Amino acid sequence: MTLLQKFLNVFITLSLLISPTTMEQVPQLSLWGEVADFTVGCSHWTLKPQVSIPALQELTVCFNLKFKFQATSPWTAFMYSHPEARYTELGLGGKWGHLVVWLFGTEWTSPKITLHQSQWYSLCLTWTHTKDRPSLYIDGNLVDILAETPPSITSCSKLAPNGTLTLGATHRLVNGDIEIIPFPNPVGKLSLFRLWGRERSIQEVTSLKCTEGNLVKWDRDNWDTQICAPLPDSNLKCEWSIYEVRLMFAIFRSDGNNTELYTARDIAHNWLRKVLPNSIYLHRVSVFEVTRSSKEDSLVKTSHEDRLVRWSPPYNRFDALVHVNVIPSVDVAAVQIEMYKDLKDAYPDPSGQLQLLADVDSIHTTPVGRK
């Protein structure tokens, strides 16, 4: 193949990948900035079967909740069950003005609490096997809860693995299938449901409220939303400054040469410094060879032709892990959209010999804690 033919192949491939239709896409994976509206016509979401929750001796669950109706009759925010247990492993709801926590079959109840309609509340539930009770927080404030029966928690207690998790409704398992138990009034709107595999301190509950979970995330690939699609809600903001960006990119060369890993890292670093706004500061850029599984999964959709195009083998592909600081802090959903818009276009290297192109479907921006 002549040098001219190689250059034309690069040009044609880039033209397909950065077509105007493709440019108009928005991030599809993240649910930040969106809510599950459990009102009329929407009863619940379920955790997808491929998202496996391991056995846990400590945990933290956080989510945001807004009631559409006055929360007087029984309601459920979430419930986690296991087919071999006769009780609810973990859950949170309310009844007659009280908040209710379920843990290993014990029901813990708060004093009467007034939760107003049309107001967002941040709720977190933490537990560790070294303590005989869970901890419940509303907007970072610890809420007193009492067990209705002697608690069954011991130092050997652990959350059963591979259970079923529903949002917005109570459920039971019948022959291994989820059966929803309806309540008269829906819970309202729920968002940012996340699960971590350790107990967060009261300081972390308050200071890390906008970080992503490490076991269950607020992402589309975690939740079955076929019953009702997520809806945008501009009133729910979560401002954060520390992010981790993962993506795959390809380097197309007109000279036919391969791109070494250290060179790819320098090119990626220059690209990011060039395209990111001044409010986004690069902290660290790591570049890796693409693994075999990543290559097999790398598909770039060309909407105008409604077909999939695989990146051609002669062009070098890399995975990137980028850590950035956003100063001042900005709403997570806005940062995710900004990163997508900044990274989706082809970048011509100043040398004139190559271009860098990110796989837009691989761009994933996650709010993380300080490391």
Domain 34-235 class, CATH top level: mainly beta
Looking at the DSSP bridge assignments, the partners of residue 122 are 64
**CA atoms 147, 150, 154, 159: torsion sign:** negative
What is residue 371's predicted lDDT score, i.e. its pLDDT? Answer: 67
- For the cut 50, the answer to whether the pLDDT of residue 304 exceeds it is no
What is residue 219's predicted lDDT score, i.e. its pLDDT? Answer: 95
What is residue 68's predicted lDDT score, i.e. its pLDDT? Answer: 80
User: 306-357: per-residue pLDDT in tens?
Assistant: 323 444 445 899 999 999 999 999 999 999 999 999 999 999 988 888 999 9
* Lowest pLDDT segment from 27-31, 206-210, 291-295: 291-295
Give backbone dihedrals phi and psi of 331, rounded to 5 degrees, phi first.
Answer: -55, 135
Mean pLDDT (whole number) for 47-65 = 96
Amino acid at site 358: A
What is d(CA 60, CA 201) in angstroms, rounded to the nearest whole number?
9
What is residue 4's predicted lDDT score, i.e. its pLDDT? Answer: 36
Mean pLDDT (whole number) for 5-12 = 42
Split at pLDDT 50, 70, 90, the class of 73 is confident
The DSSP H or E segment spanning 22 is: helix 20-23
Report whether the peptide linkage leading into residue 27 is cis, meaning its omega lies within 30 degrees of zero: no
Q: Note whether 145 and 109 are within 8 A (CB).
A: yes
CA distance between the termini of the chain: 48
CA 281 to the chain's CA centroid: 22
Rounded to 10 deg, the angle between the 332-343 and 261-275 helix axes is: 120
- For the cut 60, the answer to whether the pLDDT of residue 24 exceeds it is no
Mean pLDDT (whole number) for 30-48 = 90
Mean pLDDT (whole number) for 27-56 = 90
What is residue 82's predicted lDDT score, i.e. its pLDDT? Answer: 87
The CA-atom distances, in angstroms, between 194 and each of 190, 215, 222 are 11, 8, 10
Split at pLDDT 50, 70, 90, the class of 270 is very high
What is residue 326's predicted lDDT score, i.e. its pLDDT? Answer: 97
352 or 184: whose pLDDT is higher? 352
179 or 266: whose pLDDT is higher? 266
User: 142-152: per-residue pLDDT in tens?
Assistant: 999 999 887 77
How large a percentage of the chain has pLDDT more than 90?
62
What is residue 321's predicted lDDT score, i.e. its pLDDT? Answer: 98
Split at pLDDT 50, 70, 90, the class of 13 is very low
What is residue 155's predicted lDDT score, i.e. its pLDDT? Answer: 67
CATH architecture, domain defined by 3-30+240-367: 2-Layer Sandwich (3.30)
Q: Note whether 285 and 322 are within 8 A (CB).
A: yes
* Lowest pLDDT segment from 26-30, 33-37, 56-60, 66-70: 26-30
Split at pLDDT 50, 70, 90, the class of 59 is very high
What is d(CA 299, CA 307) in angstroms, rounded to the nearest whole number?
10
Within 254-315, strands assigned E span 280-289, 300-302, 307-309
What is residue 291's predicted lDDT score, i.e. its pLDDT? Answer: 72
What is residue 25's predicted lDDT score, i.e. its pLDDT? Answer: 45
What is residue 80's predicted lDDT score, i.e. its pLDDT? Answer: 95
Q: Where are the domains of the chain?
A: 3-30+240-367, 34-235
Q: Give the dihedral of Cα atoms 160, 164, 166, 170; nearest 10 deg.
A: -80
- For the cut 60, the answer to whether the pLDDT of residue 18 exceeds it is no
Pair of tokens at residue 186: 């829906």
Instruction: Kindly report the average pLDDT of the chain as a whole number.
Output: 85
Q: Give the dihedral of Cα atoms 192, 193, 197, 200; nearest 10 deg.
A: 60
Give the predicted TM-score (pTM) of the model: 0.85
CA angle 150/155/158 to nearest 5° reads 90
DSSP assignment of 167-184 = ESSEEEEETTEEEEE--S
What is d(CA 263, CA 118) in angstroms, rounded to the nearest whole number?
53
Give backbone dihedrals phi and psi of 12, rounded to 5 degrees, phi first.
Answer: -65, -45
What is residue 175's predicted lDDT score, i.e. its pLDDT? Answer: 74
